[in-house]
Amino acid sequence: MAVEAHNIVGWKTVPADCAEYVADYMSGERYERDSGVVVDQAIAYAESIKVSGKGKEIWIFDVDETALSTLPYQAKHGYGAQPYDQTSYLQYVAGESSPALQGTLRLYRRLLQLGIKPVFLTDRTDDQSAVTAHNLLQQGYCSWEKLLLQPAGLQTSTQAFKTGQRQKLVAAGYAIVGNIGDQWSDILGSPEGCRTFKLPNPMYYVA
Ligand SMILES: [Mg+2]
């Protein structure tokens, strides 16, 4: 709870005291149920928007733990209780086997029906562009306005990168009607989007 409310930041691993709690939360029904509440709110909001018909309304989706789930990987690595191991994590991502978060896919499909275009904005690096696109397509994310990835070797924070990308989208004439992610760095920084939606993720923290 303290993590989700952004009261604890900058942590490296889930503390040993919390490991069992987080594993229970992620592997049980509560994670999906809490995510479903977020998605229900996002859909209700999206349905209330008057779309211009000019195709300029977009919705920003983060990828990991938002559009796609790395839960199969996390389950084998203590749900964040073990230190981050980049080699095995990148191998998992390269396998293109991350399942969709079903709630997010439900939101995505509704937005397409409403004429709001999805934009994926991720801290995955641009060398992961093809594997990310394949994985999204396989999981039912059939089209998008843009898939924006971080340049490899970028020196700024993810939050600064994502904020800069949203600024460029607005400068290009897009209206960011919504923004959904599992990290505060997905949804903080102007322009955030008209409304933001924060999915749960007690397993890891991206600044
Ligand atoms: Mg994420």
Q: Please tell me the distance from the alpha carbon of residue 11 to that of residue 94, in angstroms, as a whole number.
A: 26
Distance, CA 159 to ligand 1 centroid (Å)? 11
Distance, CA 63 to ligand 1 centroid (Å)? 6
How many CB atoms neighbour CB 19 within 10 A?
A: 16
- Answering whether pTM is above 0.95, one says yes
Distance, CA 180 to ligand 1 centroid (Å)? 9
Distance, CA 65 to ligand 1 centroid (Å)? 5
3-state secondary structure of 6: coil
Distance, CA 128 to ligand 1 centroid (Å)? 15
Distance, CA 14 to ligand 1 centroid (Å)? 16
Distance, CA 54 to ligand 1 centroid (Å)? 29
> Cβ distance 88 to 77 under 8 Å?
yes
Q: What is the CATH number of domain 16-198?
A: 3.40.50.1000
> Cβ distance 180 to 197 under 8 Å?
yes
Distance, CA 135 to ligand 1 centroid (Å)? 15
Query: In Å, how far are 30, 69, 205 from 81, measured between CA atoms?
Result: 19, 17, 12
Distance, CA 7 to ligand 1 centroid (Å)? 18
Query: In Å, how far are 135, 180, 181 from 206, measured between CA atoms?
Result: 22, 15, 11
Distance, CA 205 to ligand 1 centroid (Å)? 9
How many CB atoms neighbour CB 90 within 10 A?
A: 15
> Cβ distance 193 to 178 under 8 Å?
yes
Distance, CA 157 to ligand 1 centroid (Å)? 14
Distance, CA 150 to ligand 1 centroid (Å)? 13
Q: What are the start-end ranges of the H helices in the chain?
A: 16-27, 30-48, 71-76, 86-94, 102-114, 129-138, 158-171, 184-187
Distance, CA 199 to ligand 1 centroid (Å)? 9
- Counting every residue written for the chain, the total comes to 207
Q: Please tell me the distance from the alpha carbon of residue 199 to that of residue 64, in angstroms, as a whole number.
A: 11
* Tens place of pLDDT per residue across the chain (207 aa): 888 888 988 889 999 989 999 999 999 999 999 999 999 999 999 999 999 989 999 999 999 999 999 999 999 999 999 999 999 999 999 999 999 999 999 999 999 999 999 999 999 999 999 999 999 999 999 999 999 999 999 999 999 999 999 999 999 999 999 999 999 999 999 999 999 999 999 999 999
Distance, CA 183 to ligand 1 centroid (Å)? 6
